[in-house]
Structure 1
Amino acid sequence: MTRLSNHLICASALTLSLLSGTPALAAPSGTVAFLMPDQASTRYEQHDFPGFKAEMTKLCPDCKVLYQNANADVATQQQQFNSVISQGAKVIVLDPVDSTAAASLVHLAQSQGIKVIAYDRPVPSTPADYYVSFDNEGIGKAIAQSLVQHLKEKGVPTDKGGVLQVNGSPTDAAAGLIKNGIHAGLQGSGYKTLAEYDTPDWAPPKAQQWVSGQITRFGAQIVGVVAANDGTGGAAVAAFKAAGVNPLPPVTGNDATLAGLQLIVAGDEYNTILKPSEIVAAAAAKVAVGFLSGQAPKAERTLFKTPSQLFTPTVITAKNIKSDVVDKGIVSAKELCTGRYAEGCKSLGIAN
């Protein structure tokens, strides 16, 4: 079973509680927009939109789905937002480039009776109509705690160094939640934070440049790196390799991208977070169809005064990459174990 089909089935089971218990209405019709923030993260093109489109096709075959990606540009996203409104969108699923700037977009849509579903990244200053995401603060806490546990198991002393913290974009409220979670995960661990950095636009080259400077500054004092996603984690790995550091300190990640998983196989990245984007995308589609049908989605909790559905992710390390990723069909051994990663796969019992 493919990653997409496997997790759309899972998503349907997970999100049955999203809609109220009223009798099902006839399949609605209407235009729904799916606006994503950037292309630096490959997930949006490869997983989020395909997952959303597939679930919309299943739930609302007569609906029209508009897709745009702002490529990390606030002005572009505003233009795209205005465009989908002019094209008749009744529900807009928005993953904002800038969570603060997105407040005006939410106001604009709601003033015209258009529902806005905040997706992945919340809009803290203005309540959207719904928020669907993985638990971002929980993600930050999980990767940090996993790293701390690993350092302690390895007997790394707490008084002879510390960790670097590579955060996501300062304009991304979800990155802020991950950052808060990392702080919580490191608190009380005994390992001090040597320095931290908010990476503009989540851009790996900027993260790599910053980490390179910290290697020059702190050298062997760096016992680990808590990076907020696989892009910044891979950038940290590249910085250490360019500096000739061997062995590498453990580096975290998030998103379980193919590149990140391969770094785990190679022993270069310590952990990542498995959060199949199709799950959240399918949940957003279910909420959108609910709005089109006039049904009020239920919410497990409220975040930033917005009804919210947050899913729990899984920490992936070399210990469970086979059982939780490969064996479950999320990424195939053929995809994972290419070229230089074949030997690492073999050592982890992953047969290509």
Structure 2
Amino acid sequence: MFQRKTKATAMALLLALPLAVSACGQSGGNTGGSADNTAGTNTTGNNTGGSSSGGATIALLLPETATSARYETQDRPDFEQTVQQLAPNIKVIYNNAQGNATTQQQQAEAAITNGAKVLVLDPVDSKAAAAIVNEAQQAGVKVISYDRLITGANVDYYVSFDNEQVGRLQGQYIADHTPKGGTVVMINGAQTDNNALLFAKGAHDVLDPLFKNGTLKKGYETYTPDWLPANGQREMEQALTKLNNKVDGVLAANDGLAGAVIQALRAQGLAGKIPVTGQDATDAGLHNILQGLQSMTVYKAVKQEAEAAAKLAVALANGQQPEAGLVNGKVNNGAEDVPSVLLTPVVVTKDNIQDTVIKDGYTTMDKINAAKS
């Protein structure tokens, strides 16, 4: 530490202190590394009037980038921009756990230590994140479960889409586009992600009656560790082997898994010949749709989700109630009925790409055409 040697030196330090505090509140300050550094912390000071000492702190804790680019390219900037518009004096701490639940807990603990009043947490592991909620509550910190539901803990709010409806949309597409008596393969997401369980539940709500009455046959079903496409491709290859390539439809839980399924189908000369679902409206997924390799995706307007979470977080950070009409439902997480903001998912096919993702500014045709499938 610094040692005061003279009164003049002490006076200089005291005069410099307000400048140092003010500098901490400027936008773009990085206190621990890049967004891809699992142990690092990115701090965005949104105070346009100098010192940020008068404002609260919110932590945005996202799960990974390996299977979805949206977190860095959409969720984070949309969230931070909305916070700045609503409350320029509020500081946002940002971290991405890169798929590591232990890292995410460490990041949450650091955010609490650094004065966060609200955690906006998209969990790597829905069950493990309950420990983060418990620690936050002990510190008087509010927790918003973002996109993925945290289970087994008393979460303050949940912001996401109607995830069972996502699965129902996928299941209904398979039901409508698979020939009678056809065999269906289901490549679900990661069991550690509660959303994956909700997607599967919604799909089964539609498909199970058809499996039961013989309209369709369930030939193979699996969950995919970590949502990784490589795991999904391996599972699809095993399904094709087991079923002697007699597959008439594939319910893939998201676009990344759909791309993996397409690779496995291509190796057997089946790509583009059977319906394949997806989710997230990624550029690669939309590219596959235009190429006739993937049949549909489920579009979730991430901007709306991030903006809703930001509005809720700012209200909580300022000790206020959410704006009227923002919270529109409840979702049970095994511990309570969590007050929720539930947005509406939309089916996208080649017929309505222009009227959905392009019209909303979610992506562009140039990005879709340039994407690699």
Using structure 1 for the length normalisation, give the TM-score: 0.84
CA distance in 1, matches of 2:255, 2:371: 20
Match of 1:150 among 177, 190, 194: 177
Task: State the partner residue of 1:178.
Answer: 199
Matched, 1:113 2:113: no
CA distance in 2, matches of 1:165, 1:308: 28
Aligned residue identity for 1:108: E
Match of 2:328 among 280, 285, 300: 300
CA distance in 2, matches of 1:131, 1:82: 20
Q: Runs ≥4 in structure 1, deviation > 3 angstroms?
A: 338-341
Matched, 1:218 2:243: yes
Say whether the 8 Å CA contact 2:283–2:371 is kept in structure 1. no
Displacement, 1:248? 3.1
Matched, 1:271 2:299: no
Say whether the 8 Å CA contact 1:135–1:313 is kept in structure 2. yes
Displacement, 1:110? 0.9
Aligned residue identity for 1:322: Q
Displacement, 1:247? 4.5
Match of 1:252 among 259, 267, 277: 277
SS of aligned partner of 2:361: coil
**How big is each residue's C-alpha offset from its partner over 1:89-118, in whole Å with a ceiling of 9 and x where there is no partner?**
110000111111111110100111100000
SS of aligned partner of 2:287: helix
Report how many residues are paired. Answer: 308
Map 1:309-320; keep pairs closer than 5 Å: 309-320=341-352
Task: State the partner residue of 1:166.
Answer: 187
SS of aligned partner of 1:221: coil
Aligned residue identity for 2:296: N
Match of 1:124 among 144, 148, 151: 151
Task: State the partner residue of 2:354.
Answer: 322
Task: State the partner residue of 1:75.
Answer: 102
Aligned residue identity for 2:98: N
SS of aligned partner of 1:89: coil
Range 232-241 or range 211-220, more displaced: 211-220
Aligned residue identity for 1:250: P
Task: State the partner residue of 1:336.
Answer: 368
Match of 1:285 among 295, 310, 325: 310
SS of aligned partner of 2:244: helix
Say whether the 8 Å CA contact 1:33–1:89 is kept in structure 2. yes
CA distance in 1, matches of 2:222, 2:304: 30
CA distance in 1, matches of 2:105, 2:272: 45
Using structure 2 for the length normalisation, give the TM-score: 0.79
Aligned residue identity for 2:105: Q
CA distance in 1, matches of 2:368, 2:329: 37
CA distance in 2, matches of 1:53, 1:241: 41
Query: Which is higher, the Rg of structure 1 or of structure 2?
Result: 2
Say whether the 8 Å CA contact 1:290–1:296 is kept in structure 2. yes
Say whether the 8 Å CA contact 1:119–1:133 is kept in structure 2. yes
CA distance in 1, matches of 2:112, 2:353: 42
Displacement, 1:139? 0.3
Matched, 1:85 2:106: no
Task: State the partner residue of 2:123.
Answer: 96
Task: State the partner residue of 1:347.
Answer: none
Say whether the 8 Å CA contact 1:50–1:278 is kept in structure 2. no
Residues 221/39 of structure 1: CA separation in 2 closer, same or farther (3 Å cut): same
Say whether the 8 Å CA contact 1:77–1:97 is kept in structure 2. yes
Say whether the 8 Å CA contact 1:212–1:243 is kept in structure 2. no
Match of 2:208 among 183, 187, 192: 187
CA distance in 2, matches of 1:328, 1:30: 32
Identity %: 42
CA distance in 1, matches of 2:92, 2:216: 48
Residues 150/276 of structure 1: CA separation in 2 closer, same or farther (3 Å cut): same
Range 119-128 or range 331-340, more displaced: 331-340
**How big is each residue's C-alpha offset from its partner over 1:175-226, in whole Å with a ceiling of 9 and x where there is no partner?**
1111101111213332122111111111110000110111111134211111
More helix by share: 1
SS of aligned partner of 1:318: coil
Higher relative contact order (CA 8 A, sep 6+): 1
CA distance in 2, matches of 1:242, 1:178: 28
Cα RMSD of the aligned pairs, angstroms, is 1.7
SS of aligned partner of 1:320: coil
Displacement, 1:326? 2.5
Aligned residue identity for 2:65: Q
Displacement, 1:124? 2.2
Task: State the partner residue of 2:224.
Answer: 199
CA distance in 1, matches of 2:253, 2:302: 16
Say whether the 8 Å CA contact 2:284–2:372 is kept in structure 1. no
Displacement, 1:260? 0.6
Unaligned runs of 5+ in 2: 1-53
Task: State the partner residue of 1:61.
Answer: 88
Say whether the 8 Å CA contact 2:271–2:293 is kept in structure 1. no
